[in-house]
Amino acid sequence: MSAWRHCVGAGRFELALRRDYQESLALLQREIGFRHIRQHGLFSDGMGVHRPYGHGGERRVLHSFTYVDQVVDAYLELGVRPFVELGFMPPGLASGDQTVFWWRGNVTPPSDRKEWAALVRGTVAHLVDRYGLDEVRGWPIEVWNEPDLKDFWQHADQDAYHDLYEAAANAVKDVDASLQVGGPALSPGADDGWLPRFAEFVAARDVPIDFVSRHAYTSGAAQHVPFGVHQTLAPAATLLEQFAAPRRQLAGTALAGLPVHITEFNSSYRPDNPIHDTAFHAAYLAPVVAAAGDLVDSFSYWTFCDVFEENGIPAALFHGGFGLLTHRQVKKPTFHLYAFLARMGDQVVARGDDHLVTRDGTGRVTVLAWAPVDHTGRGPAEVGHRVRLSVPVGQPSGTAYVARSSVSEEAGNAWAAWRELGSPRSPSARQLDALHEAAEPARRHHAAPVVQGRAELDLTLAAHEVTLVEVTAVHDETPPWWDDARLLGGTR
């Protein structure tokens, strides 16, 4: 049950210097609590790490970690640790001028392999010096991002990536052999030969590797509209197929037994696709997050926060992440899906196509249930989907307290409320209050009889509903003189 919590994605590194980003992360950690956070741009211009200069007629390089320290310090204060991505190429070390995103992350190989290795070594050594080896050996270090795509790595040149990886991995291990390094962070579209060829390379040259990583998305080509896109979606089960691919592709290789991390996953990789904001999206991803821990060691939602600028400064109020979190912190249904997961137990009791049942150490039973979705959007959303369960309570008789929290098209849906308000670009204080209220899940409760150690649940789900049910055995402490019939002073 912990693979979903291992890591979450975020916008580029320098955005973490912003107050609204850090406030959003504080909310995320308070209500959900991830262990690691991954983002692009550690070596890009905005962080100022790689600083070449001339002195005495020679070219020299200063490694500056002022901004890195501010970000990592803030992370550790909030109980989350970096999942370090080494990239992109500092302009002063790049061999070309090809960039990605509006903030121009350079995606060309280093002009000097030794200087690249020195940059990696210096950065990792600084992290160890500042935060301690025991701490940093728990931070996975991933080399680059989607090198199989020409947009993210010049010409998608696999041999050049192998050279980059080898230099970086050896530099990490130069600092300490116990540090974790891995890759290659492949895109969902990587051909089946990319990962086996990478495995052959690292095995043949005895290059260090501690984990394997790739990404998973289900969206089709972008259909552009002003300040956004729409995309078709494959069935959510396609994500699980992508999660399973690395172990299938690595079977029989030297990397077959390594941990597998999905360091980005979502329906769409585009922050400007409004599908992320909907109740549909939570119900679409629910069966994935409920089952994916059986396939991989971790899977990281991309991204947690609307402070996310790959395609430029957002023009729309809702933008890409778990929440409308540009100092407003309005939660979306997918945020609540993860918050529901955070309240579930560690022991899986049962699992079905539309539900997951867990138990914790106190005996509390939790049920996550979801309504099926039509990924094509061509038919009406299913209303009245029923989930009937008999759950163990931990006592032979008596009653159980049943608490239910739900998000759907009607409940816990700030996107729907925003649309009903006329899609205001800059909500007034009153409109913002309405959005916060609309974002809260619907909550209800009742007592259920316990018969032969079990309570019966009969859940009817609304359109695109995701619901959390918590069942707790009741130890009745009602005093013997209490009589509800006399609440208003009458007599029987």
Question: Tell me, what amino acid is at 151?
Answer: D
Three-class SS string for 311-331? CCCCCCCCCCCCEECCCCCEE
- The catalytic residue among 85, 115, 142, 146 is 146
Distance from C-alpha of 189 to C-alpha of 149, rounded to nearest angstrom: 8
CA angle 181, 140, 122 (to 5 degrees): 65
338 vs 323: CA distance, rounded Å: 12
Q: Which two tokens stand for residue 150?
A: 């020409």
Strands 141-143 and 105-106: unpaired
Q: Both tokens of residue 162?
A: 């192998």
Three-state DSSP state, 33: coil
Give start and end residues of each alpha helix (H) in 147-299. Answer: 158-175, 194-204, 237-250, 279-291
d(C-alpha 316, C-alpha 443), whole Å:
30
Contact (CB, 8 A) for 159 and 118: no
In the set 264, 309, 310, 470, the catalytic residue is 264
Tell me how far the alpha carbon of residue 57 is from its chain's centroid. Answer: 48
Residue 180 C-beta-side C-alpha neighbours within 13 Å = 22
Q: Count the Cβ atoms, other than its own, within 10 Å of residue 113.
A: 14
Q: How far is residue 291's CA from residue 122's CA, in Å, rounded to a whole number?
A: 39
Give start and end residues of each alpha helix (H) in 345-413. Answer: none
Q: What is the DSSP letter of 382?
A: P
Pairing mode, if any, of strands 141-143 and 84-86?
parallel
Total residues belonging to the chain: 492
Residue 264 is a catalytic residue: yes
**Is 146 noted as a catalytic residue in this protein?**
yes
Angle between helices 194-204 and 237-250 (to 10 degrees): 30
- Beta-bridge partner residues of 359: 347, 365
Residues with a known catalytic role = 146, 264
